[in-house]
A and B are shown apart, each in its own frame.
Chain A
Amino acid sequence: MNARREGAPQHARASRRRRLRYTLNVVIYVISISIFLIAWYLASDFFAIPRLFPSPQRTFLTLLELVEDGSLEGDIAASLARILAGFALGSAIGIALGLLMGSSRLMRYALDPYVNFLRFISGIAWIPLTTMWLGLGESSKIAVVAYVTVFAVAINTLAGFQAIPRIRLRAARSLGATRLQLFFLVEFPSCIDFALRGMRLAMAGAFLTVVAAEMIAAESGLGFLINSSRQFMATDAMFVGILALGALGFLVDKVFLVVGTLTLGKYRLGR
């Protein structure tokens, strides 16, 4: 009774504390980034050969140039399109595979050797082959990104399946759920959180792979930007490409987290 009466002010205090903590997090972020920029500035100005190690100002000016002529936006768009297409395809296959392996013992043991064999073969190792099979166009890059996404997502979805408390399944069956209802109303929703976590991990792999693919066989994308800048010793453009990759990954992950929590939050991502 007492707890309920005190509930309202307590709630207000809690939300105030949460807002304070959020502000503090932002401040820490800003300080951390500032320290990095200062260190970068000092390193480039006093210790390094500017041509090999461009300063933050030089990099920023190059960034503006590349934005102005539209090439950076084009490269970002190209990389992002490949990542998202491959990631979506790979996630869909990975979730299906994880669910299949989770719900059927036969499938689990039939597919386990393939999953645990293939996941150690880097997507990059396949790039020469996929370009021969699928050509130099988008499909070869999308295929490789999808490939690396599949395993992280499948293994996490399967782990989600195996983490379902036994009494949750038993309770549902004793309430009359059929095998199919058990799958759609209990098992599948129980795996969503794990699958989303797997997707977050897989996103990093997708970024790594797309850059390699673009360095080997592409005419656009951030990987292409970095690799082609080598010919002109344009280290500042390389820096721009590298920073853009990190920033893009950071943003995509945050968007994924926020959208995932807003739409599927009741299954518990980001809580």
Chain B
Amino acid sequence: MSFISLRDIEFRYPGNEDRPAVLRDFTLEIAQGEFIVMIGPSGCGKTTVLNLVAGFEHPSRGMVIVDGEQIRKPGADRTVIFQGDDSLLPWLTALENIEFGPRVAGMSRRTRRDLALRHLELVGLGGQGHKRPSELSGGMKQRIQLARAMVCSSRILLMDEPFGAIDALTRASLQDELAILWGRTRSTVVFITHDISEAVLLADRICVMTAGPDATLAKVIPVTLPRPRDRSLPEFGTMYGQVHAALSSTRNGGAPTTDAGE
């Protein structure tokens, strides 16, 4: 049995019952320790899939099951990393932000401080713990978010275009570091992006989605390139081309939609 399973999901926003669904007939099984990247045209419901697993939204039909249990609400076993820095608490220092999860879990002051310091080092921000988010760069803030999520040692990390607003150079190094950290922890990751090379670099499987409404999975592409991956290898380029082709076909209306018949 798979670790995360999304079965026959249909999703409409409450009150929008007569409008086309955001997601329809969406089924995906994810194994424990797998790195899944969701990619697709904007507005295709990638974020909705992530919100369903996080427990922020609930499917109108179908079920989201994690480790045998149906998801009904958010929980620290599925921490989320968002794009942008609005999710950090601006009045807390970097270190205090990282401590948030352990703090609400009731961990003692000293233990959680030690843990947070260790994770601060882990994301390469040792010595910057006293700074507030407004004093940190975009890349640093995403590192804080990463540390804040990892400190909870949750089995599932949900990442919603975490590097989308970061400059290209910083983004590349964040991607490499994420690959290394993931290699160490092997938590299950659902990662959303619209950046193909990011997808090829990180994913075990790339899930290409069709354009919404009534979005669903167009194609699942396994990435078998050995890790650590090198962006300059020809195999990387071939893989990139393959994903690009799959993505373009969804945009040209090549993907089947069930909208017309109903």
Determine whether the beta carbon of B82 is less than 8 Å from that of A171: yes
B136 at the interface (CB under 8 A from A): no
Set of chain A residues within 8 Å of B145, measured between Cβ atoms = 171
Contacts of B103 in A (CB 8 A): 185
Instruction: Given the known inter-chain contacts A171-B80, A175-B79, please indicate yes or no for A189 contacting B89, CB distance below 8 A.
Output: yes
Are A170 and B75 closer than 8 Å at their CB atoms? Answer: no
Asked, given contacts A185-B100, A189-B91, A266-B132, whether A168 binds B148 with beta carbons under 8 Å apart, the answer is no
What 0/1 readout, one digit per residue, does chain A (151-184) give for beta carbons within 8 Å of chain B? 0000000000000010110111111111001000
- Return chain B residues, CB-CB under 8 Å to A78: none
Query: What A residues does B45 contact at CB under 8 A?
Result: none
A174 and B91 contact, CB distance less than 8 A: no
B168 lies within 8 A of chain A by Cβ:
no
Taking CB atoms, residues of chain A closer than 8 Å to B90 are: 268
Q: How far is the CA of A186 from the CA of B91 in the complex (A)?
A: 10
How many chain A residues touch B (CB < 8 A): the figure is 19
Closest residue of chain B to A164, judged by CB?
A: B86
- What's the Cα separation between A168 and B141 when bound, in Å? 14
B71-91 interface code vs A (CB 8 A; 1 in, 0 out): 001111011101010111111
Q: Mark B92-109, 1 if CB is under 8 A from A, else 0.
A: 000000001101110000
Interface size class of B (residues with CB under 8 A): 20 to 34
Instruction: Specify which chain B residues have a CB less than 8 angstroms from the CB of A174 in the assembled complex.
Output: 54-56, 74-76, 78-80, 158
A167 to B79 Cα, complex, angstroms = 12
Is B44 interfacial (CB 8 A cutoff)? no
User: Are the CB atoms of B86 and A176 closer together than 8 Å?
Assistant: no
Asked if B255 lies at the interface with its beta carbon under 8 angstroms from chain A, I say no
* A173 to B75 alpha-carbon distance, docked (Å): 7
Given A167-B86, A170-B54, A268-B90, decide whether A176 and B80 contact each other with a Cβ distance below 8 A: no
- A82–B224 Cα gap in the complex (Å)? 75
A176 touches B101 (CB 8 A): yes
Interface majority SS on A: helix, strand, loop or mixed?
helix
Does B152 make an interface contact (CB < 8 A)? yes
Contacts of A170 in B (CB 8 A): 54, 56, 74, 80, 82, 87
Tell me whether A176 and B89 are in contact (CB under 8 A): no
Q: Which of these, A167, A176, A181, A267, contacts B87 with CB under 8 Å?
A: A167
CA distance A136 to B104 in the complex (A): 51
| Chain B 121-163 interface mask (CB, 8 Å, partner A; 1/0) | 0000000000010000000000001001100100000100000
Q: Which residues of A contact B80 (CB under 8 A)?
A: 170-171, 174
In the complex, are the beta carbons of B79 and A172 less than 8 A apart?
A: no
Establish whether residues A171 and B87, one from each chain, have CB atoms under 8 Å apart when the complex forms: yes
Q: How far is the CA of A189 from the CA of B88 in the complex (A)?
A: 13
Residue on A nearest B51 in the bound complex, by CB: A170
When chains A and B are docked, how far (Å) is the Cα of A180 from the Cα of B189? 29
State which of A175, A181, A267 has its C-beta within 8 Å of the C-beta of B91. Answer: A267
A180-213 residues at the B interface, CB under 8 angstroms: 181, 185-186, 189
User: Among the listed B54, B87, B100, B104, which residue makes an inter-chain contact with A178, where contact means beta carbons less than 8 Å apart?
Assistant: B104
- Asked whether A176 and B91 contact (CB < 8 A) given A167-B86, A266-B132, the answer is no
How far is the CB of B139 from the nearest CB of chain A, in Å? 13
13 A–B pairs (Cβ distance < 8 Å), ordered by A: A165-B86, A165-B87, A167-B84, A170-B87, A173-B56, A174-B54, A174-B74, A174-B76, A175-B79, A177-B100, A185-B89, A266-B132, A267-B91
Known: A170-B87, A173-B74, A268-B90. 8 other contacts (CB 8 A): A165-B86, A167-B87, A170-B82, A173-B56, A175-B76, A176-B105, A176-B152, A189-B91
Which 5 A-B residue pairings sit nearest by Cβ, starting from the closest?
Answer: A176-B76, A171-B87, A165-B86, A175-B101, A173-B74
